[in-house]
Each structure stands twice: as C-alpha cells, then as structure tokens.
Structure 1
Amino acid sequence: MRLLTHLRHVDLAVPDYDEQLDFYAGVWGLTKVAEDSGISFLAAEGSPEHYVVRLRRSDEKRLDLVSYGAASPADVDTLAEQLLAGGVRLISRPGTIDTPGGGYGFRFFDVDGRTVEVSADVEVRRHRKIEEKESIPVKLSHVVLNSPDLNRTREWYERHLGFRLSDTLMHPRMGEAMHFMRISNQHHSMAIAQGPHTALHHISFELRGIDEYMRGTGRVIRSGARKLWGPGRHLAGDNTFTYFLDPQGNTVEYTTELELLDEDTWHPHVYDFSRPEVTDQWGTANAMNELVAKESFNDVDRGCFVAPPV
C-alpha cells in the first residue's frame, strides 16, 4: 500500500548561506517566505507547498532532509508503525511540525543515512497561476540521490515507502546507473544514481512550459551561474533538462513536461545511456562526459545518520 502522495521540499545546509539565499531567491526564481536566524524557507510561486527549499547556515555542507507528503495523520501514524516494525530507525515520533505551514509528521533515516520527513495536514499556501513567458519555477519536480549501492537503496524505498520502478539507465561498461522511482503517475518523484558515496545528485524544478523553460535557462546562464548540461530532452521521463551548479556546488535542474504514466499498463524500460538519443533526444545539449557526471556526484554528505539540528 502506498502511503506517500508527493514530494514536498528538499532542505540544504550550507556554509555560504547569504550567497545561496541570493541565488535561490534571486537568479533561480524562488520566493523567500520566512527567515529566522540563519534558516530560510523558499516557495515556488505556483506551488501550494509552503516551501520547496529550506536553507540552513552551517559549517558543513549537507543534505538536511527530503520531505514527502501523506494524505492524512492516520497515514502518517500507519507509516511510522510500519517503519518501526520493519526495523527502520526513527529520529522522531509522529507529532506537530513547527515549520511554515505546520502539519503532523515525523522523521527517520533511510538505508543510506539520509533524513526523510513525512507529513500530513500541512496548510495550503496561497499560490497563483504562472503566466505565459514567466520563467520561474512552478513547483518542485523531483530529487535525485547518489547511493554507493543503487539496488540496496531502490529495494529499501520499494519495501518501506511504496516507491515503484519506472525506468532504469544502464551503461555497457558500468552496468546499472540510475533507477527512476515513482509514488504517483508522475514518471519519477525521486531517482537513485550510482555514486561513489551518499550525497545529493540534483534537485529539479518544473517550469510552466518549453518557452518558459528556455527563457529561464537563458536567464540563469546570463547570471554567470555555471551550466553543467543542457538544454536537452531526456528519453526516460521525456522531460526537458538544463543543469546548473548552485554557489555551493549542488546541482539544480530546470525541467518541464515530465511524463505522466498509466500505472496499470506501464512496464519499466532499461535504457542504454551510452546512446546519445537516450540522454538527449533533441541533440542540443553538450555531451554527457565524465566531468559532467563527476560534478553531480557532489561532495561526501557529512549528514549520514546525523539528524539535522532543526
């Protein structure tokens, strides 16, 4: 039984807090909705979520947590009980959440030591329709996580959180490289990438359409932010992509038109990403090479099995 509904937010700890805040609330196009002594909450204008990114000032760069929604407090309680019975290490028991939008939820460690939060009854934020030519994020699209043991992580998310496999990327020399995982008919809310260590791979933000996505891509390029890869269009998920590095070296993506599946009839594909049309159907992106791939491995995450302080 699937108890998760959608991805809510991704929380980052960053040493260069002011620069990061300027990037996300300026160039990237999110809106700062709350700030409190070295912690800020950033919303996407088109999203009912109170925030999609949280930034926290810290001496160490880390992924603080990934947050998912559940349909009801009863589902939150059920999930907590199932995780406890399954031997998963809980950080907190279900209770009131003291962040913008409030709600009822709890936190736990995944198999790699990442902090995951699940919540329900979070207030809906007043949001608006993003207009034509407005090149700011509509919502958070998905998150991709690096794991040193791709299949162990995949199986954990399937067993404990009800994720299902949509597609897999493989390489003739390297084997399986990425699993795209879903909790709805959206092709993926999360993907797991094979990496040398546990870390954030990238956070993806959805724009209104192709034109807005291209305008946003151009704006971020003109800002001087480092473009890693794109613009192009993936085969798995059929979504557009342009990847950039934020000032702290985290990879962030602009995307649009991520595929919606018929879950009853869908069968996962295994795509060979050594074929250029798999990584980019359009053929417009710079080549995916080892240097581009290495940037997305990110730094070793210092937050494994260490709960964030807030």
Structure 2
Amino acid sequence: MNGHHDVHSDLHSEAGALPGEHPGRARNPVVKVRDLAWLEFEKPDLDDAEIFARAFGFTTALRTEAELHLRGTDPGSPCVLIRRGVRSRFIGPAFRAADSADLLRLAEVGGSSPAPLPETLSGYAVDLRDPNGLRVRVVADVGVLAELPAQQPLTINTWHDVARVGAVQRPPRAPARVQRLGHVVVQTTRYRQTLDWYLEHLGLIVSDFLYHGGRRERGPVMSFIRCDLGGTPTDHHTLALMLGPADKYVHSAYQVSDLDALAAGGEYLRENGFRRSWGIGRHIQGSQIFDYWRDPDGFMVEHFTDGDLFDNTLEPGWAPMTASGLSQWGPPVTKDFLGLAPVGAALRELRAFATALREDNEFDLHRLRGHLKVANS
C-alpha cells in the first residue's frame, strides 16, 4: 500500500476522475456566484399557483393581478417569481453575485448592461443566455426580506441519546414550511457545451458526474454542480444539468426542517388532491431525503431535508447513471418522475427523441440507447 487515501471512498460517489476526464471546474471563471437567488416562471392562472404554493409551504411575499412572489422563512429574496402569461413556462434562474462589480464583468463577456430590477426586488441584474437559449439572470444588491418564524425540527430520541422525556411526538398534518430554494435541474441537448458555459461564466464547480453504464469513455451525461465559496461549505448541488432529447426545466427543490415536516407536509398535499411524483426516499448524490410533487401546471417540485455540504476542496465523483441508483432507500422510481407518464408526457418524450436525433446536438443514437437503458434499470 502506498498510503494514498481515496477521498471518494465511502464519501459521496463511486470514484474520482480518470486521467484526461473533465476536471469539473474552470481555471479562470468570469465570476463566482454565491447562490441561487430565485427562479422565474410564467403561468396563466395565478390563483391556482398560489393555492398550491401555500399547500406546498411557501409564504406569499407579493401578489398583484400580474405577479406572484413566493418566499421561504429564511431571510433573503423570494424563492420563486411567477408572472401571468398566456402559457405555463420556465423563464430561467437568477443567481446572486458577490457584488455589483461582477455584473460589469459579465456584461463584458456577452451579458446585457446592468439594469435596475423592479422596486419590489431592488438591486441590479445582468441577463445572459446559456447555450440552449435559456435566460440566466445574475443579480446584485437585491432587497432582503426579513426572516419569518420557522418550523422547528422535532426533538428526537435515539437509543443512547435521550432528549425527550415525558412528551409525545405529534407533528401536525399541515404544510411543511419551506425554508429556502435549494437547487434547480435542467435538461439540455448540448450537455458538455452547457456545462462548460456555467463553469466558465458563473464559477460553479462539479460535485458529481454520472455516465451511462459501460460508456464512461464517452464522457458524463449528468452533473451535480455547487457554488465555489472557498472554504465555506455549500450545498452539494445548486444546479444540476442532464443530457436529454429536449431543452427543459426538470425540477426545483426547496428545503424544509426535517423528515417529519416533509412527511406530514406530504400527507397534507395528498389529502388536498395534489399529485406526488416520487417519494419519500433518500438520494445517493447529495444524500437528501426527498419528496417530489407536481404543481397544477405540471412542474415538478421537491421538498428536501438533510443534504450534503462541501467546500471547494472536494474533487468530482464519478458514478454510472441508473434509475435504481437515484436513491439509497425509498419506493422504486416512478414513470412520472422519469417523464414517461402520464400518456401525454410519454408522447412528448417520444416526439422529443425523434426531433433530437434529426438535429445537430449531443443526443445521438448511442446516447438514446444509454438513456433508455437508464429508464429500464
């Protein structure tokens, strides 16, 4: 033995990179964003959107005839901005810059000129387009909403650590109070180009790569990407990118206090007629306890708790991508989560396969076979 310790052993993924594989970070990024600020959507029915949002655990920060802002209990900006539109669509993410000087740097490499945000948000923004045409907004000096009373985690007894005596556990079957926005997952037909764009422009770094089993030499098809805050630990992923037959939003995730809040909140959603997509379980990459739901417009949203945190010293892990490998425990992954149900979603996926194979992108026949193998694993 040479005494070398593999930092990935029993830590967060199967193994580290092989020689010549993607390093998972840019040498000299334009800026290093600090976090996700919010996500922006358009929806035709703000009433339905607000009803679901309250059941999911958001607090309304602003409501007008044309706009809905949703927040968590943590101080900061709203988590989600929804504007009235003729159809439901994801507009794009907003990332928080370290300072306003970063906006000038991004403007010099193809972003718009820094422009003031509406008074309801304050601050300034630069808009960029990623290789898929998705609008990516970077903001600075935005207003800070005051902290709200948070849902406290339950006091838990373990065998040798008794913290609760003479009291019972009765978590209310009520909405789990969202604390903050955690991450967003986006699918792209130009995965490698898009990955490099986010690393080079926003200074994000990869926590984990996934590749199609038996095809590692063709490179990764998914990456879990975190912010680079130096020695300060941050979420395992703030953004996740995956190769697929269409450029689209996949899901977004919002932190709650603990497993009981997540589970009881899920029961509240179920009893109020909302549709679970997949859960409850615990992920492998990121380790979060998860529960996925569909809002009235079909967007997938996740409650999560107990996720991994890493500083910038951890190098990317590499692991094969399988459907069964998406969780350590929990029910089998559903067709709804994979986008293969209901029938309308499956038909859209088939049309996307046919379109992608006719166009110039990374989703070729080899990737299609790997994609189908994952879905059937």
| TM-score class, shorter | 0.7 to 0.9
Structure-2 change in CA distance of 1:98 and 1:109 (3 Å): same
Residue 6 of structure 1: aligned partner: 35
Residue 263 of structure 1: aligned partner: 312
Q: Distance in 1 between matches of 2:214 and 2:278?
A: 22
Residue among 271, 278, 285 paired with 1:229: 278
Higher strand share: 1
Residue 164 of structure 1: aligned partner: 205
The more displaced of 147-156 and 229-238 is 147-156
Q: Distance in 2 between matches of 1:217 and 1:173?
A: 37
Q: Distance in 2 between matches of 1:240 and 1:141?
A: 13
Residue 225 of structure 2: aligned partner: 181
Residue among 268, 280, 291 paired with 2:327: 280
Q: Distance in 1 between matches of 2:106 and 2:79?
A: 22
Q: Distance in 1 between matches of 2:88 and 2:310?
A: 35
Residue 122 of structure 2: aligned partner: 102
Residue 87 of structure 1: aligned partner: none
Q: Secondary structure at the match of 2:235?
A: coil
Q: How far did 1:138 drift?
A: 0.5
Q: Distance in 1 between matches of 2:55 and 2:149?
A: 20
> Retained in 2: the 8 A contact 1:101–1:125?
no
Residue 48 of structure 1: aligned partner: 75
Which amino acid letter does the alignment assign opposite residue 128 of structure 1?
Answer: L
Q: Distance in 1 between matches of 2:260 and 2:214?
A: 37
1:118 lines up with 2:144 in the alignment: no
Residue among 5, 29, 49 paired with 2:57: 29
> Retained in 2: the 8 A contact 1:168–1:269?
yes
Q: Distance in 1 between matches of 2:47 and 2:340?
A: 22
Residue among 15, 18, 30 paired with 2:44: 15
> Retained in 2: the 8 A contact 1:21–1:55?
no
Query: Unpaired segments of 5 or more residues in structure 1?
Result: 85-89, 302-310
Residue 258 of structure 2: aligned partner: 209
Q: Secondary structure at the match of 1:229?
A: strand
> Retained in 1: the 8 A contact 2:121–2:143?
yes
Q: Secondary structure at the match of 1:151?
A: helix
Residue 355 of structure 2: aligned partner: none
Structure-2 change in CA distance of 1:243 and 1:257 (3 Å): same
Q: Distance in 1 between matches of 2:191 and 2:255?
A: 25
Q: Deviations over 1:151-200 (max 9, x none)?
A: 22111111222111110233327874421011143211000122221111
Paired residues, what number? 288
Residue 220 of structure 1: aligned partner: 269
> Retained in 2: the 8 A contact 1:166–1:182?
yes
Q: Distance in 2 between matches of 1:173 and 1:195?
A: 18
TM-score with structure 1 setting the length: 0.85
> Retained in 2: the 8 A contact 1:168–1:270?
yes
> Retained in 1: the 8 A contact 2:208–2:316?
yes
Q: How far did 1:99 drift?
A: 4.7
Q: How far did 1:149 drift?
A: 2.0
Q: Deviations over 1:133-162 (max 9, x none)?
A: 572110001011111122221111112221
Residue among 246, 249, 269 paired with 2:298: 249
Q: Distance in 2 between matches of 1:7 and 1:140?
A: 7
Q: Bigger radius of gyration, 1 or 2?
A: 2
1:68 lines up with 2:116 in the alignment: no
RMSD of the alignment, in Å?
2.4
Which amino acid letter does the alignment assign opposite residue 31 of structure 1?
Answer: T
Q: How far did 1:201 drift?
A: 0.4
Q: Secondary structure at the match of 1:101?
A: coil
Structure-2 change in CA distance of 1:129 and 1:17 (3 Å): closer
Q: Deviations over 1:197-220 (max 9, x none)?
A: 111100100001222222222222
Q: Secondary structure at the match of 1:281?
A: strand
Structure-2 change in CA distance of 1:130 and 1:207 (3 Å): same
Structure-2 change in CA distance of 1:274 and 1:50 (3 Å): closer
Q: Distance in 2 between matches of 1:146 and 1:275?
A: 16
Q: Distance in 2 between matches of 1:32 and 1:291?
A: 28
Q: Secondary structure at the match of 1:123?
A: coil
> Retained in 2: the 8 A contact 1:227–1:245?
yes
Q: Distance in 1 between matches of 2:149 and 2:47?
A: 29
Which amino acid letter does the alignment assign opposite residue 83 of structure 2?
Answer: R
Q: How far did 1:290 drift?
A: 4.5
Q: Distance in 2 between matches of 1:263 and 1:106?
A: 26
